[in-house]
Chain A
Amino acid sequence: MVTFIIRRLIQSAIVLILVTILVFLALRLLPGDPVRMYLTSNSMQELSEEQIEAVRREFGLNKPLVMQYFEWIGGVVRGDLGISILTRVPVAQEIARRVPITLYIGIISFIIGLILGIPAGVIGAVRRGTWIDSLITTLANIGITIPVFWLGILLIYFLGLYLKLLPVMGYTSPFTDFWMSIKQIIMPVICLALFPIAGNARQARSSMLEVMRQDYIRTAWAKGLRERAIIMRHALKNGLIPIVTLSGMGVGTILGGSVFVETVFAIPGMGRLAVTSVLNQDYPYVQAITLIISIMVLLSNLLVDIAYGWLDPRIRYE
């Protein structure tokens, strides 16, 4: 098991290095120039080539690509993510302020996705063909198709503007005003959790159906076990293995969804920052955000693999 974990760690590290190189190259080789963007946003008149060159030198963008890359990586290792070209704020400071906000909403949504999704799927599988199964399947199929941003707008209209139950947008830290914070994250969490709930329910239902057909379940029925014991003790254990993979992928989905949710509800998190910095071509921000997101995704994939190796020993020796 330890060798398995070490091997997966090394593989993840290689992928992470590839990610940094790829993002770095993409930013610099694709069209678009952050310096010109910065200058046009700050001054109306045309600037001379020398002035543009001066700003370029300030951010080290005139050096060879390889040097720029190693300087950046050197900084990252020391915890220095560079300075924003547009706002001149240290990137690490801004990211440290925004990541917890995204994680706060994201983790709650992730957990709700598991708590509501898995039981729904299991009930659907156990009561296959009844009205409750049809209801769960239909809702799950709708749940994976609703555009997140549109759901946000619907919620704002009905819960916020029409029924006036919840604040329409904004974000308050739970440490400043707990109840306000809870009220404000209800709608964002509904938006972010819907896809995981529906996805988990679909996966749980289909893998449970698969397991319920197995011989050992028939044996369990035949020896007269109660339904409860068969499902809880025998079917669930094997049926939930595919859920582990799906929840691992759910991390990426939630991070992607936070881009929309934070835009719709005006939440100052990482998703919103990703959109603005990509639009402004603010290299240091884009590099830092992609780095952090890929670390999160890689870590969750790693956890999934380890969980898998633990649940199913055959995987370890592949």
Chain B
Amino acid sequence: MAGLNTAEATKIKNIEIPPRISELRRFLRVFLGRGLVVFGAVIILIFVIAAIFAPLIAPYDPYVTDYGYSLSQPSWKHLLGTDAPGRDTLSRLIYGARTSLLVGCVVVAISSIIGMSLGLIAGYFGGWIYTIIMRLIDTLMCFPMILLALLIAALLGGGLKNVIIALSFALMPSYARLMCGQVLSVKTNDYVLAERSIGASNFRIMLRHVLPNCFPPLIVQMTLMLGSTILAEAGLSFLGIGIMPPTPAWGSMVNDGRQYLLTNPILSFAPGLAIMLTVYAFNMIGDGLRDALDPRLRGVL
């Protein structure tokens, strides 16, 4: 510092230094900046707590029938009333969160891993590998997603495991397509070329360099897909092809309540509202994540 006089030193000090906001702080500020995102996060928190601690929170056993209380109206004893076999609606609603969360998470995990791997391979290698994989994906995508899931679930015969298989299969193509598009644009970057010129293997380039740079839109996609998956599972269960009674699932609860619409509308209304709030919350969080991770994705996802 010998060469610098005080005037010069203060000048250097006064050079505008960009405020040191860490990446995480910036992310949280944008992410939590919108009220709706916070609202969504609170709903998800309640949903996850209800799912995990269902046995502690639920006032009754969701499977125990009590014909003495068949179709009772909401009261202090049964806050949301009871269904035809006298099971407590609130307890079944809380246990239903378990089913939704389980199906949602497992399906998103399986479908994203398979879909992203296919998209990564297709986009990275190109050529005939690309043609084969992406034609298959196109083929799967020309069914409406819910019909594809319906077909597979019906052929496999319903139940938790088969619903997960059916939905994973039906949702996988959208990840593959998104991933493939991402890879096609990322792999033209110079750092991929540089990595190849120093002799890195394809495997290493794909996993260490291409994959991480494709990630932001896929994270957003996964959050939004959690909502769609829960909605699709409810749809299948509503049609009687998904989760089978007596396992509590929101979709089949809406369907069961349909016959008592005149006398006990709450049997259908309550689980439907639960589905809607959960899906809404995941969508809001997805939108928030998109804006916080990469605002350029607005309108794309």
Chain B CB within 8 A of A256 CB:
yes
Cross-chain contact A297 with B143 (CB below 8 angstroms): yes
Q: How far is the CA of A225 from the CA of B139 in the complex (A)?
A: 48
**When the two chains form the complex, which single residue of A150, A206, A275 contacts B239, counting CB atoms closer than 8 Å?**
A275
Cross-chain contact B145 with A256 (CB below 8 angstroms): yes
Cross-chain contact A31 with B142 (CB below 8 angstroms): no
- Please, which residues of chain A bring their CB within 8 A of the CB of B180? none
Chain A CB within 8 A of B129 CB:
no
Cross-chain contact B283 with A259 (CB below 8 angstroms): no
Cross-chain contact B151 with A290 (CB below 8 angstroms): yes
Separation in Å of the A299 CB from the closest CB of chain B?
Answer: 10
Chain A CB within 8 A of B89 CB:
no
- Name the interface residues of B252-301: CB closer than 8 Å to any CB of A: 254-255, 258, 261-262, 265, 268-269, 272, 275-276, 279-280, 283-284, 298-299
Cross-chain contact B283 with A22 (CB below 8 angstroms): no
Chain B CB within 8 A of A136 CB:
no
Separation in Å of the B253 CB from the closest CB of chain A?
Answer: 11
Cross-chain contact A15 with B151 (CB below 8 angstroms): no
Cross-chain contact B261 with A30 (CB below 8 angstroms): no
Chain A CB within 8 A of B41 CB:
no
Stretch at the interface among A52-60, A96-104, A179-187, A278-286: A278-286
Chain A CB within 8 A of B45 CB:
no
Cross-chain contact B157 with A294 (CB below 8 angstroms): no
Q: How far is the CA of A148 from the CA of B251 in the complex (A)?
A: 11
Chain B CB within 8 A of A306 CB:
no
Chain B CB within 8 A of A238 CB:
no
**When the two chains form the complex, which single residue of A31, A209, A275 contacts B156, counting CB atoms closer than 8 Å?**
A31
Contact A141/B283 with A259-B146, A294-B142 known, Cβ cut-off 8 Å: yes
Chain A CB within 8 A of B152 CB:
yes
Cross-chain contact B262 with A161 (CB below 8 angstroms): yes
Residue from B136, B145, B227, B265 having most chain A Cβ neighbours under 10 A: B265
Main secondary structure of the interface of B (DSSP, over half): helix
Chain A CB within 8 A of B155 CB:
yes
Chain A CB within 8 A of B196 CB:
no
Cross-chain contact A19 with B151 (CB below 8 angstroms): no
Contact A255/B144 with A15-B135, A154-B269, A274-B150 known, Cβ cut-off 8 Å: yes
Q: How far is the CA of A14 from the CA of B136 in the complex (A)?
A: 11
Cross-chain contact A157 with B265 (CB below 8 angstroms): yes
Chain A CB within 8 A of B238 CB:
yes
Cross-chain contact A15 with B154 (CB below 8 angstroms): no
Chain A window 254-276, contacts with chain B (Cβ cutoff 8 Å), 1 for yes, 0 for no:
01100110011000000000110
Contact A19/B284 with A26-B151, A207-B299, A279-B154 known, Cβ cut-off 8 Å: no
Number of B interface residues at 8 Å Cβ cutoff, please give it: 45
Q: How far is the CA of A15 from the CA of B268 in the complex (A)?
A: 40
Cross-chain contact A30 with B150 (CB below 8 angstroms): no
Chain A CB within 8 A of B220 CB:
no
Separation in Å of the B108 CB from the closest CB of chain A?
Answer: 17
- Please, which residues of chain B bring their CB within 8 A of the CB of A278? 150-151, 154-155, 241
Chain A CB within 8 A of B119 CB:
no
Separation in Å of the B270 CB from the closest CB of chain A?
Answer: 11
Chain B window 150-190, contacts with chain A (Cβ cutoff 8 Å), 1 for yes, 0 for no:
11101111000000000000000000000000000000000
Chain B CB within 8 A of A107 CB:
no
Chain B window 105-134, contacts with chain A (Cβ cutoff 8 Å), 1 for yes, 0 for no:
000000000000000000000000000000
Chain A CB within 8 A of B64 CB:
no
Q: How far is the CA of A49 from the CA of B140 in the complex (A)?
A: 36
Separation in Å of the B81 CB from the closest CB of chain A?
Answer: 15
Residue of B nearest to A289 (CB): B147
Residue of A nearest to B255 (CB): A149
**When the two chains form the complex, which single residue of A19, A31, A263 contacts B139, counting CB atoms closer than 8 Å?**
A19
**When the two chains form the complex, which single residue of B142, B152, B234, B279 contacts A15, counting CB atoms closer than 8 Å?**
B142
Chain A CB within 8 A of B231 CB:
yes
Cross-chain contact B147 with A147 (CB below 8 angstroms): no
**When the two chains form the complex, which single residue of A14, A286, A297 contacts B135, counting CB atoms closer than 8 Å?**
A14
Q: How far is the CA of A278 from the CA of B157 in the complex (A)?
A: 10
Cross-chain contact B280 with A263 (CB below 8 angstroms): no
Contact A145/B235 with A31-B157, A274-B147, A274-B150 known, Cβ cut-off 8 Å: no
Cross-chain contact B254 with A203 (CB below 8 angstroms): no
Cross-chain contact A256 with B147 (CB below 8 angstroms): yes
Q: How far is the CA of A30 from the CA of B299 in the complex (A)?
A: 39
Chain A CB within 8 A of B195 CB:
no
- Please, which residues of chain A bring their CB within 8 A of the CB of B261? 153, 156-157, 161
Separation in Å of the A242 CB from the closest CB of chain B?
Answer: 7
Q: How far is the CA of A120 from the CA of B136 in the complex (A)?
A: 37
Residue of A nearest to B158 (CB): A279
Chain A window 104-148, contacts with chain B (Cβ cutoff 8 Å), 1 for yes, 0 for no:
000000000000000000000000000000000000011011111
A-B contact pairs, 24 of them (CB 8 A): A15-B135, A18-B135, A19-B142, A32-B155, A141-B284, A147-B251, A147-B279, A148-B235, A149-B238, A150-B254, A150-B272, A153-B269, A156-B261, A157-B261, A157-B265, A207-B299, A252-B143, A255-B144, A260-B235, A260-B238, A274-B147, A278-B241, A279-B154, A297-B142
Extra 7 A-B pairs, beta carbons < 8 Å, given A15-B135, A26-B151, A27-B155:
A147-B235, A147-B272, A149-B238, A157-B268, A252-B142, A252-B143, A297-B142
